[in-house]
Amino acid sequence: MNQEMIVPYRQDFIQEDGMLFVRTEGIPPTMIKAPIILAGLIIVTAAIPLQNSFSSTKTLDLIIFQDGSTHVFSLIEIDPLEPDFTVNLFGNSIDNLVAVGENDFLLYTKTTGSSTLVETFGSSTISIDYDTHDLVSKEGRIWTFSIQAPSDYTLLMPQNSIIVGMSALPQNMELINEQTKLSFLNGPNEINYILGTPTSSQTSSSTSEPLDNSLIFIGGAIASAVIIGIIFLRKFQRTSKKIETTQTKTESIETPDPETIFQLRPNLREDDKEIINFIFNNGGQALESELRKKFLQPRTTMWRAVKRLERQGIIEIVKKDLQNLVKLKGGLEEEQ
Amino acid sequence: MRAITSFCLLALVVSMVFSGIPISVEAQADPNILLKIASQAQKQIETQISNQQVSDEVQKLFEEGSAEVDSLKDSLENDDISSARNHFLSAMKIFKKISQMILERPTVGTAISVSNTAYSLSSDLERMVKFLSKLKTIAEKHDSGIDFSEIDRLISITKSNIYDGNFDETKKNIVQIKRLLSDIKTTLVAQANESKTARAKDFAQKHLEKLANLIEKVKNLEGIDPSQIQEAERILSEAKNLLSDGNTDEAFNLLRTLSELVKKLRS
């Protein structure tokens, strides 16, 4: 049983009264009935906004974090006569879901896929808070936020983000703690942005100003020192690699086997299990590009899968030669 | 009199029609926002392409994008909002294309690696702080007596660790915070369940009364199968008995079945 049930009741109720459609035929010749029609129309007019207000999203606020996850806050008006209400969520990968009724009363929820059933028990307003990992994807350095919004919404962009593409027209924009907050109307939208590191955003903000020659010289010297440092570090790592091989061998022994991982994480998806099996058979680590080739998955899909496994503490992502190296983590513990 | 009535009727009909139209008509965008966003994107792209060698195609696209920003500015000065919107969307489309062409190659590997880890960990922490804040509100509202000092202390330490670049320690802290959050939520859910039964019973009683009235209404309608009415009345009676016996879960199951049946009868 859900919210949709009550709507036909309301429509039927109006039809049963029959004031609109039965009596209007007799109105023009007999003006005596005009006040009755007027009263009926006033009631109907007043009722329309009320009907619209049932199970409608009153507020939708989204906050994008720097790792691409999104916090969703939604305030929904519902029919107080229904015992439960099904809320459609933005995606399947949901964390930290809390549904609260009037007076901040914690409501019981049961999430299945991309929807959650909330036991409302007479609440006329509920608020839902959750984090989703399915609204933002990443390709290269470009992050893309995509949404099909059921209502008007606000969107707080991450810090140091620079918008480089947008498919819908924003209604408002304001700056909150150095973060851009945008307002949009309901409907589809896609926003492309990049994240600048704190240093790069500072550079970009000062590019219009002429640079002092001494600053360029100092900057150049620092950059050269950093590059030389990196070269030395890499050479040192290469020479010390041989010594470390025995240590890495012991580390690989500590990596749990897939069966143990599946027992500790019983709710894993089948495709994620295949990824784990592949990494395990590959010596406990694999490049993300190798995973893409193996499973013929696009970059964003594999990125999401890898992030999902990272969130569950199964793998860790390490940068290696500008690529993502995915490693099985040791010491996996049972989920709380 | 006839004219006044007709006018009132017309006004009401018009208001009814317009009240059904989505509110989008009410909201008017501040057009200067479009110029701000497009200019920022233009500036960013300009910085990027000035720092690396780009193809003629990219250069040409950038010029096209810049021309769209100029046209956007002109349209806004002439109060031509419709044209401004088109120029904005065109400019953003071009800038997105350029970004895809020039930003594929990451710049400094180690810097990106460190910032990615920092972003990921600080985002984890931010999400948890937000979740904790919600749980605190619920707990305080209902005098749950939960002690938040340990988790507050851990969050403070984690913030310092992220600031100092101590990522290994931060990862451990985050696991601990996750556990504490999970415990707090479990406690709150358990507390909420204690009063849930009373609320559920109260709600079920009201809902059953409503359904009983609907059955009475449907009874007198033509073409209704009497056996279905009998079945509805049987379920209603059983649900009431279960409720008075304190078997709320079972009563709710019957309540749901009854709602479906009444809905079927009314259709």
Q: Give A71-117 as a DSSP string.
A: EEEEEEE--TT-SEEEEE-S-S-EEEEEEE-GGG-EE-EEEETTEEE
Read off the CATH number of the domain in which B248 is found. Answer: 1.20.1270
Do residues B87 and B72 lie in contact, with contact meaning Cβ atoms separated by under 8 Å? yes
Question: Maximum Cα–Cα distance for chain A, whole Å?
Answer: 104
Q: Are residues A311 and A183 in the same domain?
A: no
Q: Give the mean pLDDT of chain A.
A: 74
| DSSP assignment letter at A320 | E
Q: What confidence score (pLDDT) does residue A104 get?
A: 79
Q: What confidence score (pLDDT) does residue A189 get?
A: 94
- Chain A residues whose beta carbon lies within 8 Å of the beta carbon of residue B109: 319, 321-322
Determine the residue of chain B that is closest to A310 in CA distance. Answer: B120
Q: B132 pLDDT exceeds 90?
A: yes
Alpha-carbon gap: B128 to the closest alpha carbon of chain A (Å): 8
Q: Report how many domains make up chain A.
A: 4
Q: Are residues A176 and A287 in the same domain?
A: no
Q: Are residues B147 and B199 in the same domain?
A: no
The amino acid present at A219, given as its one-letter code, is G
What domain range includes position B202? 195-266
**Is the pLDDT higher at B114 or at B236?**
B236
Any residues with CB less than 8 A from the CB of B166 and at least 6 apart, and which? none
Confidence of residue B18 (pLDDT cuts 50, 70, 90): low
Q: Are residues A184 and A74 in the same domain?
A: yes
Q: What confidence score (pLDDT) does residue B134 get?
A: 93
Q: How far apart are the two ends of chain B, measured CA to CA in Å?
A: 42
The amino acid present at A190, given as its one-letter code, is E
DSSP secondary structure letters along B208-239: HHHHHHHHHHHHTSTT--HHHHHHHHHHHHHH
Do residues A125 and A75 lie in contact, with contact meaning Cβ atoms separated by under 8 Å? yes
Q: Is residue B109 part of a domain?
A: no
Report how far residue A183's alpha carbon sits from residue A217's, in angstroms, rounded to the nearest whole number.
44
Confidence of residue B88 (pLDDT cuts 50, 70, 90): very high
Final residue of a domain: which of B69, B102, B135?
Answer: B102
Q: Is residue B1 part of a domain?
A: no
Q: What confidence score (pLDDT) does residue A145 get?
A: 94
Q: How many residues does chain A have?
A: 336
Final residue of a domain: which of B47, B72, B102?
Answer: B102
Do residues A316 and A298 lie in contact, with contact meaning Cβ atoms separated by under 8 Å? no
Report how far residue A305's alpha carbon sits from residue A302's, in angstroms, rounded to the nearest whole number.
5
Confidence of residue A245 (pLDDT cuts 50, 70, 90): very low
Name the nearest CA neighbour of A72 among A89, A53, A54. Answer: A89
Instruction: Tell me the mean pLDDT in the region A264-286.
Output: 87
Q: Are residues B120 and B189 in the same domain?
A: yes
Q: Give the mean pLDDT of chain B.
A: 82
pLDDT, tens only, A88-134 = 999 988 989 999 988 778 888 888 888 999 988 778 899 999 999 99
Phi/psi of residue A77, nearest 5 degrees: -95, 130
The amino acid present at B19, given as its one-letter code, is S
pLDDT, tens only, A150-193 = 999 999 999 888 898 999 989 888 888 888 899 999 999 999 99
Q: What confidence score (pLDDT) does residue A35 get?
A: 63
Check CB contact under 8 Å for B37 and A170.
yes
Phi/psi of residue B262, nearest 5 degrees: -65, -40
Determine the residue of chain A that is closest to B49 in CA distance. Answer: A204
The SS3 of residue A59 is strand
Q: B16 pLDDT exceeds 60?
A: no
Q: Is residue B210 part of a domain?
A: yes
Check CB contact under 8 Å for B210 and A81.
yes
DSSP secondary structure letters along B3-70: HHHHHHHHHHHHHHHHHTS-GGGT----HHHHHHHHHHHHHHHHHHHHSS---HHHHHHHHHHHHHHH
Check CB contact under 8 Å for B16 and A100.
no
- Chain A residues whose beta carbon lies within 8 Å of the beta carbon of residue B142: 104-105
pLDDT, tens only, B158-189 = 999 988 888 889 999 999 999 999 999 999 98
For residue A44, give the nearest of B16, B30, B189 by CB distance: B16
Confidence of residue B14 (pLDDT cuts 50, 70, 90): low
Alpha-carbon gap: B244 to the closest alpha carbon of chain A (Å): 18
Do residues A130 and A98 lie in contact, with contact meaning Cβ atoms separated by under 8 Å? yes
Chain A, chain B: beta-carbon pairs less than 8 Å apart: 213
Do residues B101 and B58 lie in contact, with contact meaning Cβ atoms separated by under 8 Å? yes
For residue B33, give the nearest of A42, A139, A173 by CB distance: A173
Confidence of residue A51 (pLDDT cuts 50, 70, 90): very low
Q: Are residues A234 and A261 in the same domain?
A: no
Final residue of a domain: which of B166, B193, B220?
Answer: B193
pLDDT, tens only, A190-234 = 999 988 754 333 333 333 333 334 444 455 556 666 666 666 566
Instruction: Tell me the mean pLDDT in the region A49-64.
Output: 72
Q: Are residues A44 and A63 in the same domain?
A: no
Q: B51 pLDDT exceeds 70?
A: yes
Q: Is residue A181 part of a domain?
A: yes
